[in-house]
Structures are given as structure tokens and as C-alpha cells.
Amino acid sequence: MLVQIQTDKSVPTRGYEPLSEPSLLIRNATIVTAYGLKEADIWIEHGKIKRVAKDTFSVRVEGEAPLVIDAAEYYLLPGFIQFLSRQTKHHQPKAAYVEEIRRQIAQGVTTVVDSIRLESWMDELQLHYQLTPHYNSPIDYAVRVNLEVHTFTPKRIRKLRDQGFRLLELTVQSLDEVKKIDWDNLYPLFHDARLAVHLHTPKESVTREQRRLINEWWLQHCFFGKIRTCMEEIEPAHTDKDDFYRIAMIGGEQIERVLHTIQQNWFGYLPVICPIDRFAERLRKKAYRPDKLLSLLVRVASTNMAKAIGCYPQKGSLLPGADADILFISKQNWLTNYELSSILNFSEICKIAHVMSKGKWVFHEGEHIPVIGTGNILKNLQPYNYAI
């Protein structure tokens, strides 16, 4: 259980100015980063992290005293980022939508990325109408516009650019479709606006060999045009100088192999992401130290995800200036005698204990907090700003 106390406003600070309108102070935190653990206190004001440091002084404030949380029994992680399922219906009842988002929150997700499918007949108003269900979201969301090849034209891309969209997704079902793309006229648009495009090849309509040929052709054009792309279940390259433009979204049998590679070269460069729902394969418990595994989860399901969609360090980090999206995992339950697979899937045995979105509880002591409509759309995405 989290211990919450109020500060004593009569106790002087030690060399620090009083905080203006403080909100929350998390004491004795064990913060999990993409590369390790550190002990620090976290100051939160207006939903943002203001300070991360190991402070031992008391706090005096003017006005209302901050709420202080003792998190000594927990690991604190930045919230996970998740691509919403393609089966999620956009125009479902509010209650069904909220239930789906709450299911994501219980798994540690604090930001979702929705793929809004753009049909050829849709205008700007129709496109934005697809976002209306998210007005009920208690967590932040980003938008990835999904296109088919016949709508992947310079004219359409130019309109999307002017509307502020920076993250696109293209559904391809054959190699011939890729060959028909007007790459020569698209290159300047992608380069000037710094647009990223994710490739989706439906498994139900594309064989493994077809996918391999599509991927090869696609990568050639993306490398030539310096277009940052994300592809599903490709093998991440380790030495290619153009790795910056290629992000592998791993899954299935890849996970153990890729995580092992990262462990062997902890501070190396390996552009991979893995949404938390893809951790479905059983991993060998003895292959990972508890702290290393936590950092791996943060790296591929939070930090790298935020960099790939262009919202780092606002998301995917617990740094000053970032949104206070924080997961609390009980130290007592992490990597106990239970099967590791159940921990990674956050089952009823080893689930996330608490979830905070922008400094407010959205999941606390096993209960969802009924906060509807507080999630904001993430604008000004910059998917070229960081190497992964």
C-alpha cells in the first residue's frame, strides 16, 4: 500500500526556494530507466515532472501543502505506449470504449496510438470525426493515419501534412502495389515535412515470401529517400549505416533473441520497439536479472515507442519536463516464484499495482478512477528527432 502524508509547512527548506503551487512529491522512488535503475524523489506539478533528485530535505510551501507519497516498496516506470488493436471499433458506445481503454491501463499503458483509416472519399472533417471516441479517453493518444496504396498519393500526403499529421501507415498487400507508388514525387514531401510512414502487410493476405520481397523493395525506397519507417517483425540490422531510418517492431519468437542481443550490447544501437501486448512468448527466467528485465521493458515498450512515434521525452521517460505518466510495480511481486510469462502479461497474480497519468491516479489499489475525457491528443509529433 502506498503511504501518503502531508508536508509540514513550518519546516524550512535547506538552500532551495519555496515551490509555487506544488502538487505531488514521490519519495524514496526506485526509478526504472531504459538503461538501469536509480534512487530519487520525483516532484510533480500540474501533471509534469519538475524535478528528479535524491532529496533529503523537508519542504515548505506557500498555500496548500503537497501530497507526499512514499514509494519505497515499488519500482516506478514510465507508462507504456500501445498501438490500438485494428479490431477496435471507432464508433462503439462510450461504455465499451472506456472499458477497452481501462483494460489497456491495467496493463500499464498510459498513451495509445490509434490508426485512423482514411478512405478516398473522406475530407478533413470526416477524418477528424474518426477521433471523437477519444474525447472520452482518460489517457493521452496519438494518431497514425492509415492509407491504402491508391490513396498514398502526393496530393493526399500534402493535405495530411498541411493538417499537421506526421505519422502515417500504409497497408500493402502485394509487391506490385509498392512498385506503383509515385516515389519520386513523394520524396520531397516526406523530406521537407519529416513524415514517418509505417508499413503494414496483413498476414491473412500476404505469404511470408511475399512479405520478404515487399520489405526489401520498401526498404530500398525508404533508405534512398531517407524516410523513417517502422516494419513489423523484420530482423533488426546491427551495422547498417541507415539503421536510423529503419525501426523493427518485434514479436513472437524474435523477442527472446532480440532482448538477448540488447543484453550483450547494453549501450549499443538497436532500433526496435515492442508494444507490451506482444510480450506473449515465454521467456527464460534465468536469462535475465530482475533489474535488467525491467529496463528492457521500459526500453522497447516505452522509451523506444515514444521515440518512434515522435513524442519523446514528453512520453517514455521520467525526466524533468515529461508528463507524469508513472507505473508502480510491487518489488515484492516482481520476479518471484511465479512463472515469468504471467508477470510479463501482467496477470491477476503479478499485475500493475498503480497507474498515474499526468500526475493523477487512473488506476489505484486495483480500482479504476472514473476520470473521463482528460486525455489529450499529442500534436507536433517529431519521429526524426531521436535515434533508437
CATH 2.30.40.10 fits 3-77+323-368, yes or no: yes
What per-residue confidence (pLDDT) applies to 278? 85
pLDDT of 319-357, one tens digit each? Answer: 999 999 999 999 887 866 555 555 555 554 456 889 999
pLDDT of 268-313, one tens digit each? Answer: 888 999 998 887 655 665 677 888 889 999 999 999 999 999 999 9
Mean per-residue pLDDT, 51-55: 87
pLDDT of 92-148, one tens digit each? Answer: 777 888 888 999 999 999 999 999 988 878 888 888 888 888 888 899 999 999 999
Mean per-residue pLDDT, 243-251: 91
- The answer to whether 24 touches 61, Cβ cutoff 8 Å, is no
pTM: 0.89
- The answer to whether 199 touches 232, Cβ cutoff 8 Å, is yes
Kindly report each contact of residues 363-366 with a partner whose C-beta sits within 8 Å and lies 24 or more positions away, as own/partner. 363/102, 363/105, 363/106, 365/1, 365/2
d(CA 236, CA 160): 29
Do strands 246-249 and 272-273 pair parallel, antiparallel, or not at all (unpaired)?
parallel
- What sign for the dihedral angle of Cα 91, 200, 102, 318? negative
d(CA 269, CA 49): 27
* Phi, psi (deg, nearest 5) at residue 85: -60, 145
Q: Do domains 3-77+323-368 and 79-309 have the same CATH topology?
A: no
d(CA 60, CA 46): 18
pLDDT of 1-35, one tens digit each? Answer: 665 544 443 333 334 444 444 579 999 999 999 99
For domain 79-309, give the fold.
TIM Barrel (3.20.20)
pLDDT of 358-384, one tens digit each? Answer: 999 999 988 999 887 789 999 899 999
Which residue has better confidence, 21 or 82?
A: 82
What per-residue confidence (pLDDT) applies to 119? 81
Statement: residue 160 has pLDDT above 60: yes
d(CA 14, CA 27): 17
What per-residue confidence (pLDDT) applies to 341? 52
- The answer to whether 247 touches 229, Cβ cutoff 8 Å, is yes
What per-residue confidence (pLDDT) applies to 296? 93
Q: What percent of the chain has pLDDT over 90?
A: 56
Q: Is the peptide bond before 313 cis (omega within 30 degrees of 0)?
A: yes
For the record, the C-alpha cell of 115 comes out as 490508426
What per-residue confidence (pLDDT) applies to 29? 94
What per-residue confidence (pLDDT) applies to 182? 94
What per-residue confidence (pLDDT) applies to 19? 41
- The answer to whether 305 touches 80, Cβ cutoff 8 Å, is yes
- The answer to whether 34 touches 294, Cβ cutoff 8 Å, is no
Q: Where are the domains of the chain?
A: 3-77+323-368, 79-309
What per-residue confidence (pLDDT) applies to 13? 35
For the record, the C-alpha cell of 275 comes out as 508494444
